[in-house]
A and B are shown apart, each in its own frame.
Chain A
């Protein structure tokens, strides 16, 4: 299954991870009830590793990222778990920090940076690209305006922006979608973060621009030995970029594995369904696609037991609808939350 040639690290366990998320739960509280956006999710990201988090709308993948940066919207709260950021081998629990305190602000943008789906939303319209990038650099690196400007120009050049000396003074609306996405990546990279979180980095751009952005992220990750966390609904993007994958469904990490073994042998019925539900380019008209029945339920209509059981073609009567599935290790670093794989051992 291609597991033999996995490197000892990532996830080999010798070196401490860069970021370790343990049993994270983030809930939202509103008049309609409690929404368990993230409900007991655990994963590690090592230095230089790329982790992909995939799932459909409402699965909690974006809230996971917001929790790490402590930017959860006001009606949400991290109610449990740990987010350990290792600095020189010393863990800092981000959950314990004050969300607007000095310490998290020194981490945001410096140690952990983020790029967003819609690059227009990541920039302010009334300042130039340069203004915004220089501000970040000055804040985190404490250098002069002129030095910061030089660093900004260098970073813009690094992401392949044509004529960076001129584009630095351009306003975001004056750039095309692809260029804006590059400027956004440049701003995120300007302080050499150890972890870059990319939330749907290519969803809003065209196919040929998507190819450019994917190649760029791959190259930068290699050059800067930076860890990457890619959040997307497009499994193909993860297959192109990531070493590990975590599939989420309604706040739970239903399957987590090295990318190669997950795509070669998906285990959870939801993962299997997701992979079958989109046609793949190059397989012709004869390929079989199969829809997952039903649709993602509303946020307050989560099923008991395994949340996926109402849509699952392989559900086990009298088990899946009542009991939470356990997390089972089905291969090297390959974990699944599903009763199907737990039964033989019971």
Chain B
């Protein structure tokens, strides 16, 4: 794995939102939404960013799109394998526009992400118009038809407004719009959460199919760990603005090395299909996710960690690779990662508890 295989490389990304108070909007503090996050997205993979609300996963996705301005750090983007990387964080608005066509975004709620006053043709066709890539209305219709076909929507509906479509169909429209300019990276922020259970599988299958067809790279932002296990190659677990564990999904879910990841996996309710009782004891974390405006010293997870020791209260752990050199890297930010025996979920490989 060399750097040139990475489509996006995020280095020490930070986003601090100021807390202002009073008439003069004096800055009285910082919300450290992202506080030094580094990871790479390989071309063609699906990378998941998981974590609870306030962990910075959405902010990270938006910083990569430059939908919000990062405070510091680099976001290197390579259009083609081997091409010279461009640092998105320093580009001007105009330079950025040229790069942004290589990226698409799908949002959580298809009821608010589509303009109710625009027809499907206008919504999906808008990127072509704003970038002046189509010559005529006819060509625009042709392009939109092809896009709608690829997300399995009937193109004859293109003159209808979003209200005429169900949640699943709206999400398909949003996906078609994201794919309009043939991007290589798609940032999908909770694309399933607002959909009915029976429709989620349809969208998940569609995303997989489109990935193969258009050779897409996905940055999948979600809190749904079952979906991550099913559809993502690698996963970065975030807690209060930092990555606490990063590596292959199978490895991390089978044998997590960070107590937070273990607790997250354990917290997910499961359907008991065999008529017997639960086999594993649930780890119930006490307290709430730490406040990013007031991050605890040392390891941010220490007030909730069942394995906490004195060191954790004062010294911040670094993200270090704990995997055997022959295996794919497995980064963990925990002082005691190599001493703890943690349990994952029983996957096909049976890597976890008996």
Q: Tell me the smallest distance from the CB of B221 to a CB of chain A, in Å.
A: 14
Q: Is the CB of A282 within 8 A of B53?
A: no
B349 in the interface (beta carbon within 8 A): yes
Q: Tell me the smallest distance from the CB of A211 to a CB of chain B, in Å.
A: 4
Q: Is the CB of A235 within 8 A of B264?
A: no
Q: Tell me the smallest distance from the CB of B220 to a CB of chain A, in Å.
A: 13
Q: Tell me the smallest distance from the CB of B5 to a CB of chain A, in Å.
A: 21
Q: Is the CB of A206 within 8 A of B198?
A: no
Q: Is the CB of A281 within 8 A of B223?
A: no
Residues of B within 8 A of A289 (CB): 201, 204-205, 230
Q: Tell me the smallest distance from the CB of B293 to a CB of chain A, in Å.
A: 13
- Complex CA distance for A290 and B198, rounded to whole angstroms: 9
Taking residues whose C-beta sits less than 8 angstroms from the other chain, chain B's interface range is 35 or more
A333 in the interface (beta carbon within 8 A): no
- Complex CA distance for A210 and B267, rounded to whole angstroms: 8
Residues of A within 8 A of B249 (CB): 285
A341 in the interface (beta carbon within 8 A): no
Q: Is the CB of B166 within 8 A of A277?
A: no
Residues of A within 8 A of B250 (CB): 284-285
Q: Tell me the smallest distance from the CB of A131 to a CB of chain B, in Å.
A: 23
Q: Is the CB of A277 within 8 A of B346?
A: no
B265 in the interface (beta carbon within 8 A): yes
How many CB-defined contacts (below 8 Å) exist between A and B?
153
Residues of A within 8 A of B112 (CB): none
From A22-30, A76-84, A99-107, A291-299, the one touching the partner chain is A291-299
B263 in the interface (beta carbon within 8 A): yes
Pick the residue among A215, A239, A296 that contacts B198 (CB under 8 A): A296
Using known A-B contacts A282-B347, A285-B229, determine if residue A275 contacts B198 with beta carbons closer than 8 Å: no
Query: What are the interface flags for B269-283 relative to A under an 8 Å C-beta threshold, 1 for contact and 0 otherwise?
Result: 111111110000011
Residues of A within 8 A of B268 (CB): 207, 236, 281
Q: Tell me the smallest distance from the CB of A171 to a CB of chain B, in Å.
A: 17
Q: Is the CB of B348 within 8 A of A211?
A: no
Q: Is the CB of B225 within 8 A of A281?
A: yes
Q: Is the CB of B348 within 8 A of A56?
A: no
Using known A-B contacts A273-B198, A290-B201, A295-B167, determine if residue A207 contacts B227 with beta carbons closer than 8 Å: no
Q: Tell me the smallest distance from the CB of A157 to a CB of chain B, in Å.
A: 15
Residues of A within 8 A of B269 (CB): 210-211, 214, 234, 236-237, 239-240
Q: Is the CB of B285 within 8 A of A280?
A: no
B52 in the interface (beta carbon within 8 A): yes
Using known A-B contacts A206-B223, A279-B226, A281-B265, determine if residue A57 contacts B196 with beta carbons closer than 8 Å: yes
Taking residues whose C-beta sits less than 8 angstroms from the other chain, chain A's interface range is 35 or more
Q: Is the CB of A2 within 8 A of B230?
A: no
B289 in the interface (beta carbon within 8 A): yes
A176 in the interface (beta carbon within 8 A): yes
B199 in the interface (beta carbon within 8 A): yes
A278 in the interface (beta carbon within 8 A): yes
Q: Is the CB of B52 within 8 A of A282?
A: no
Residues of B within 8 A of A1 (CB): 275
- Complex CA distance for A273 and B202, rounded to whole angstroms: 12
B168 in the interface (beta carbon within 8 A): yes
- Complex CA distance for A56 and B272, rounded to whole angstroms: 20
Within 8 A of B (CB), among A15-74: 56-57
Q: Tell me the smallest distance from the CB of A295 to a CB of chain B, in Å.
A: 4
Q: Tell me the smallest distance from the CB of B156 to a CB of chain A, in Å.
A: 18
Residues of B within 8 A of A209 (CB): 52, 288
List 13 A–B pairs whose Cβ atoms lie within 8 Å, in order of A's numbering: A207-B267, A208-B52, A210-B267, A211-B267, A211-B282, A211-B284, A212-B284, A237-B269, A279-B227, A282-B229, A283-B348, A285-B229, A291-B199
Give B contacts to A, CB under 8 Å: 52-53, 166-169, 196-202, 204-205, 223, 225-227, 229-231, 249-250, 253, 263-276, 282-286, 288-289, 345-349
Give A contacts to B, CB under 8 Å: 1-2, 56-57, 176-179, 206-212, 214-215, 233-237, 239-240, 260-261, 263-264, 273-287, 289-292, 295-296, 298, 311
Known: A56-B196, A209-B52, A284-B348; 4 extra A-B contacts, CB below 8 A, are A206-B289, A215-B284, A285-B250, A291-B198
